Amino acid sequence: MTLAARGRLRVAVEQTLPLPDVAKAHELVETGRVKGKIVIVP
């Protein structure tokens, strides 16, 4: 929490997808080639 509060926490976001594309998000993760996080948005 301290790193986040200081702005020193970095999170790599690979892709942001809408909720209806959650199946695509799972496919991306299962490939093993994702280098960052997949973010699902409403």
* pTM confidence score: 0.71
| Strand partners of residue 18 | 41
How many Cα atoms occupy the beta-carbon half-sphere of 1 within 13 Å? 0
DSSP string over 12-27: -EEEEEEGGGHHHHHH
d(CA 37, CA 11) in angstroms, rounded, equals 8
Record the tokens describing residue 24, joined without a space.
């695509």
Contacts of 36 (CB under 8 A, 6+ apart): 11, 12, 13, 14, 15
Q: What percent of the chain has pLDDT over 90?
A: 79
pLDDT computed for residue 25 by the predictor = 96
For residues 24-28, give the mean pLDDT. Answer: 96
Per-residue model confidence (pLDDT) at position 26: 96
pLDDT at 1 over 90: no
4 pLDDT higher than 90: no
| 10 confidence band (pLDDT: 50, 70, 90) | confident
